[in-house]
Structure 1
Amino acid sequence: MKYKYHKQYRLPGFDYSSNNSYFITIVTKGKKNHFGEISNNEMYFTDIGFFAEELLKKANLKLEHLTIEEYVIMPNHVHFIATIFREDNDFKIPEKGLMPLVPKSISSFVNRFKGRLKRWANENDFAYFEWQPRFRDRIIRDEEEYVVIKTHLQNNIKNWESDSEKL
């Protein structure tokens, strides 16, 4: 009998709705350049790229528990640092089975972001646009790591050639 290995993407038992900063990467399906192109160290957005940026900016206006601290939209992926601050948190680790989508968590934000962008794309004749399943996250452990990641995002466009091969 063959067993299919499923990579664990989230840290088991970690509360992704807890007060932390998170480095998130979301990639388009097949790493297709749906968000724009880079020329002369500048990102030129497509309509899909403009709407992705609009959604990230609106998150800071609409969400009290989550702030997008820094972001960069690249031709085929989005990087951002999101910080969650919640006074109320009744997270409980499930005893068994899959972790449900926890409200006000990083996963619920990414799920909503990806869904809203895909729905907009479908409604605006860009139905070919698709995301890769899942997303990558890193829990930012301290101020030093935060600064390193922030600097990476700020330099991402000029480092596009080397960065695009790592996805």
Structure 2
Amino acid sequence: MELPKRKPMRLPEYDYAGHGAYFVTICTKDRRCILSNITVGADAPGGPNVQLTDTGKTVEQYIQSMERMAGFHVDKYVVMPNHIHMILSVDNGPPRASAPTVSDAVGALKRLVNRRLGRDIWQRSFHEHVIRNEQDYREIWEYIDENPARWVGDRYYEP
């Protein structure tokens, strides 16, 4: 299946190095399901169960280590079979010329994971959405929470 070509979706006048929260989605190359396995329905009576693969465990380790990147905080995340979702908050303190951006954080995550695994597992680009208000934040938080339950309806799902 040929995947769609992506075009930049960034707001032209928005300061991506400034304070704020972002909904970030990073997909695996060719949408390969290498990060986790999800069981739902009768196989998961307490709700969906996300079991990370070894690759997924490495990804999770580096997501959690993003806390050490100055100015970034991962508020929420989920590791799906072929992508990850994160709410990434940026608080760089006083404005400065060299403040890291969301692209810097995502690029570092992808680079570190690839280096650790010894191979490139990521799609070239990533998707981001500027979280504009509290309601938007809550809806995205719920979307991330509920994402594993929706996996069986995903076009890349294979039982």
TM-score over 0.5 (shorter chain)? yes
- After superposition, the Cα gap between the structure-2 partners of 1:82 and 1:6, relative to the gap in structure 1 and judged at 3 Å, is closer
> How many Å separate the matches in 2 of 1:153 and 1:43?
13
Within 5 Å, give how 1:29-108 maps onto structure 2.
Answer: 29-40=29-40, 41-60=48-67, 62-90=68-96, 103-108=99-104
* Residue number in structure 2 paired with 1:9: 9
Give 4+ residue runs of structure 1 displaced > 3 Å after superposition. none
Q: Unpaired segments of 5 or more residues in structure 2?
A: 41-47
User: Percent sequence identity over matched residues?
Assistant: 27
In structure 1, the gaps of 5 or more residues are: 92-101
- Deviation track 1:52-79 (CA, whole Å, cap 9, x = no partner) reads 111111112x123110000000000000
Structure 1 distance, partners of 2:99, 2:71, is 11
Q: Which amino acid aligns with 2:70?
A: E
> Once the two structures are superposed, what CA deviation does each residue of 1:71-96 show, in whole Å capped at 9, x if it has no partner?
000000000000001222235xxxxx
Distance (Å, rounded) in 2 between the aligned partners of 1:87 and 1:38: 39
2:113 match: 117
- State the alpha-carbon separation in 1 of the partners of residues 84 and 31 from structure 2: 11
The structural deviation recorded for 1:103 is 4.4
Count of paired positions: 145
1:150 to 116, 130, 141: 141
Displacement of 1:34: 1.1
Identify the residue that residue 165 of structure 1 maps to in structure 2: 155
What is the alpha-carbon distance in structure 2 between the residues aligned to residue 63 and residue 111 of structure 1?
Answer: 12
Deviations 1:98-138 (A, max 9, x none): xxxx641100000000011111111xxxx3x5211110000
What is the distance in 2 between the residues matched to 1:51 and 1:147?
28
- TM (normalized to structure 2)? 0.84
- Kindly state the Cα deviation for residue 6 of structure 1 after the two structures are TM-superposed: 7.2
Letter in 1 for 2:49: E
Instruction: Provide TM-score, normalisation by structure 1.
Output: 0.80
Instruction: Give me the CA root mean square deviation.
Output: 1.9
